[in-house]
Structure 1
Amino acid sequence: MPLSPPLPAPPHDLDSPSHVLIVGDFADINGGQAKVALDSARMLADAGVQVTFFAACGPVSRRLEHKRISVICLDQPTILDDPNRLRAMRRGIWNGEAAKRLTAVIDGLDPTDTVIHCHGYAKGLSPAIGPVLANAPMPVLFTMHEYFLACPNGGFYDYRKQEICTRRPLGASCLATNCDARHMLHKGWRVTRQVATWGPGQLPGGLTDVAYISELQREVMTPHLGRKVRLHHVPNPVDAPELPPVDPRQNDIFLFVGRLSQEKGAAQFAEAARRAGVRAMFLGDGEQSETVRRLNPEAEILGWQPPEAVQEALGRARALVFPSLWYEGQPLVPIEALMRGVPVICGTWSAARECVEHGENGLVYRQPTVDALADALTRIDDVPTFDPLPLRQRLGPDAHRRRLLDLYGEMLARRRAA
């Protein structure tokens, strides 16, 4: 239900839409994808655009309490949280209710002055919304926050071999390989969902405008998208707090922020830090927490922390270490660190590399091994202090809002001229 009645928007650029329908799995912030969707809703509403926020799963965040935002939340459980596992499996492949409700919402909007912006479907809405988007009478923008449009597990990552996967999705080698973090039966369910995505879901075949958040993501995904798809670079916004730049040369903490899991490289960093003889701090939790403790008994593991505590830790960091072993989309923590003047250490295979200039504001190592990471940790003094302002201006909320409104305007103008 709407949180507040829609109000007339103030005057705005005639090339921009007066209404944007944002579609996503979640109405609350539980990860980077949801955060971007909610933050975008606030940015657009603050710019005078009427926003309808449509989500499968609650609760509804207080971030959406705005006089120009109305919320339609189906209050469905996520696929992982649904106690009825058969229903979760069925709904994860095809959420008919979500498709029906989304269709009804679209039917009530003005197609000449509305843009739909979808931020994902894989954890709640399901591929069932694909035909709704493909047949919508107004322009539709789909932002790829991961790789589910092509890869059954959404990451092009083999959890069993602990390496990036280059197999052709749904090819013979893909189907014969148990790459899932759980078990082969779950891989079978993911394959079924991917068949539904490509087939009746019309994804990505029914999309005409797709936003990518990093150049690495574009390189990986382009072969799997239709030739007629228009690709747009719309990096996620990063709203860094107005805090003074850090002087990292006065600090000794090598900081890890995130989930302590295999693909995030937490255990690899723990061992590399021990070998390099540097102080390691982990903000986060996950299935590898005990492994991290075993590999590096001296490491400080503080669990999940609120944003203020993360910023406080960045203020004491010598470097932010981002040892993720998979592609990533556009990881936000490394950018937040760079915006504070804290250098970043990451691998060349990760999208984090796009903001790191080797030897200028961080270090990029070439092999996903403990030895390579340990060597990088010992060479942090090679990185000078740097000015974080240009990155703040390029990836801040104002730049993101301008990109969105300009792109929405182009899409509307193209549709009107057709």
Structure 2
Amino acid sequence: MAQLDTIVIATDSARLNGGTAKVAFIEAKGLVAMGYRVIFFAPTGPVDPDLAASGVEVICLNEPDVLDDPNRLRAMRRGIWNVGAARALRATLAPLDPVRTAIHAHSFSRALSPALGPVLTGAGFPSLFTMHEYFLACPNGGFYDYRKEEICTRRPLGPRCMSTNCDARSGLQKGWRVARQVALWGPGGLPRKLRHIAYISETQLAAMRPYLPAGAQLHHILNPVEIDLNAPRVAAENNDVFLFIGRLMPEKGALDFARAAKVAGVRAVFLGSGPQEAEIRAANPEAELAGWVSPAEVAQWLARARALVFPSLWYEGYPLVTCEALGVGVPCIVGKWSAAHEMVEDGVNGIVYDRREALAGALGRLRDTATVAAMSRAAYARRVHYAASPETHCAHVIEVLEEVISIRG
């Protein structure tokens, strides 16, 4: 049997614009370091300079993100079926040896579109699809009703789903998402034609399992997190900052945190920006909104944190920020519905609360210095278990891709 030597990573963006892109970048650079030829294919640019300089072969179409494209009709059309991206991906694959090459797809919802499906499953190459969210099943990708601000249990594309405007923007946007989902399940052939699917948490798998093909092989691949295992523990017990890191969007629970911090009388700091900034300032005038900051500044804020607060209201797949905080000994306060709770043992290395109204009480539990010190030490002691190192992640990806090739052969 020929040996795998080339991996084509297909994803929406060649710029660092979120957690999925970060995982794809770390993986691409790590696989190159292991000696593999890596071709990184993405419709949306511009290309990240570090990715371009890493030895990864980047093929970027420099299309605008569907959310940023000023030509809305073009954006809607490309979002449902991006003919150009599918054609370019086929052209990228054409000169490659299918016996020595595998495709690893990470996302399609922002640029690749459901047109990825026939290429991924019908171009003759072994392939793996990693779920970073829930777009294979749910039109809005989150099993979340943005209007009611609650987790959605309606069956995707069922009568109740089709008759409910759950979209964060408008009913027209929901209609567009439904059209994309029809294209995905129909001519896109996803997920029904997938034979190998990776998931990133048990929380994600539980939500998605009813919608995955019975014959697909499921692989649990942890996201890579760059944690310096030699970094000293953050003495959280000496700090007073309760830290939020992320977009200031309704589904992220930032406003819940602002209100709860006001009730609990704790110092709230927000790293990020978004449409809820004004509401957060009104709900908690003492809160500090620092906006987006550099990775080095994030590390500086974590060093000043008593706890990281992760109040997200939906089924977050596996939030990297909680891994990073716990890895340096910062206790985390998380809701039991997101995958963040898989990293936190209540009362040991953080707090898991069971309903939104309980967040203020959870913050209050960390007033006691001895409690915070014990949680910080416990979090730090477990730092190797929260996620995979980049090296471990890449080794696991190769293990799965070699299995995919061997089964195909």
Please report the TM-score for the alignment, with normalisation by the length of structure 1. Answer: 0.93
Which structure 2 residues correspond to residues 46-195 of structure 1 after superposition, within 5 A?
A: 46-66=33-53, 68-195=55-182
CA deviation after TM superposition for structure 1 residue 304, in Å: 0.6
- Report the Cα distance in structure 2 between the residues aligned to 1:181 and 1:415, rounded to whole angstroms: 41
- Amino acid in structure 1 at the alignment position of 2:244: F
- From 309, 316, 337, give the equivalent of 2:325: 337
Equivalent residue number for residue 294 of structure 2:
306
Q: 1:361 to 1:122 in 2, by over 3 A?
A: same
Q: Deviations over 1:268-318 (max 9, x none)?
A: 100100101111111111111111111111111111110111110000100
* 2:386 is aligned with 1:396: no
CA deviation after TM superposition for structure 1 residue 205, in Å: 1.1
Unaligned regions of 5+ residues in structure 1, if any?
1-13
- Contact kept? 1:138, 1:415, Cα under 8 Å: no
- Report the Cα distance in structure 2 between the residues aligned to 1:128 and 1:121, rounded to whole angstroms: 9
- Report the Cα distance in structure 1 between the residues aligned to 2:192 and 2:10, rounded to whole angstroms: 18
- Contact kept? 2:29, 2:54, Cα under 8 Å: no
- Contact kept? 1:256, 1:322, Cα under 8 Å: yes
* 2:257 is aligned with 1:269: yes
* 2:193 is aligned with 1:206: yes
- Report the Cα distance in structure 2 between the residues aligned to 1:63 and 1:311, rounded to whole angstroms: 20
- Contact kept? 2:311, 2:334, Cα under 8 Å: yes
Equivalent residue number for residue 9 of structure 1:
none
* 2:234 is aligned with 1:246: yes
Q: Deviations over 1:22-78 (max 9, x none)?
A: 000001111000111111000000000000111000111122235642111111111
Q: What secondary structure, in the 3-state scheme, does the structure 2 residue paired with 1:281 have? A: strand
Q: What secondary structure, in the 3-state scheme, does the structure 2 residue paired with 1:153 have? A: coil
CA deviation after TM superposition for structure 1 residue 344, in Å: 0.2
- Report the Cα distance in structure 1 between the residues aligned to 2:378 and 2:108, rounded to whole angstroms: 39
Q: What secondary structure, in the 3-state scheme, does the structure 2 residue paired with 1:254 have? A: strand
- Report the Cα distance in structure 2 between the residues aligned to 1:67 and 1:338, rounded to whole angstroms: 29
CA deviation after TM superposition for structure 1 residue 337, in Å: 0.2
RMSD in angstroms over aligned alpha carbons?
A: 1.4
Corresponding pairs, count: 401
- From 361, 367, 378, give the equivalent of 2:364: 378
- Contact kept? 2:43, 2:63, Cα under 8 Å: yes
Q: What secondary structure, in the 3-state scheme, does the structure 1 residue paired with 2:251 have? A: coil
Worse-matched range after superposition: 359-368 or 394-403 = 394-403
CA deviation after TM superposition for structure 1 residue 392, in Å: 3.0
Equivalent residue number for residue 5 of structure 1:
none
* 2:281 is aligned with 1:293: yes
Q: 1:99 to 1:271 in 2, by over 3 A?
A: same
- Contact kept? 1:348, 1:366, Cα under 8 Å: yes
Equivalent residue number for residue 218 of structure 1:
205
* 2:353 is aligned with 1:357: no
- Report the Cα distance in structure 1 between the residues aligned to 2:31 and 2:267, rounded to whole angstroms: 42
* 2:252 is aligned with 1:260: no
* 2:408 is aligned with 1:415: yes
CA deviation after TM superposition for structure 1 residue 136, in Å: 2.5
Q: What secondary structure, in the 3-state scheme, does the structure 2 residue paired with 1:73 have? A: strand
Equivalent residue number for residue 15 of structure 2:
28
CA deviation after TM superposition for structure 1 residue 16, in Å: 5.9
- Report the Cα distance in structure 1 between the residues aligned to 2:224 and 2:176, rounded to whole angstroms: 33
Q: 1:69 to 1:39 in 2, by over 3 A?
A: same
Worse-matched range after superposition: 389-398 or 325-334 = 389-398
Worse-matched range after superposition: 113-122 or 397-406 = 397-406
Q: What secondary structure, in the 3-state scheme, does the structure 1 residue paired with 2:378 have? A: coil
Equivalent residue number for residue 222 of structure 2:
235
- Contact kept? 1:238, 1:332, Cα under 8 Å: yes
Q: 1:391 to 1:243 in 2, by over 3 A?
A: closer
- Amino acid in structure 1 at the alignment position of 2:348: E
CA deviation after TM superposition for structure 1 residue 209, in Å: 0.5
- Contact kept? 1:16, 1:408, Cα under 8 Å: no
Identity of aligned residues (%): 55
- Contact kept? 1:45, 1:66, Cα under 8 Å: no
Unaligned regions of 5+ residues in structure 2, if any?
none
- Report the Cα distance in structure 2 between the residues aligned to 1:250 and 1:42, rounded to whole angstroms: 37
- Amino acid in structure 1 at the alignment position of 2:328: R
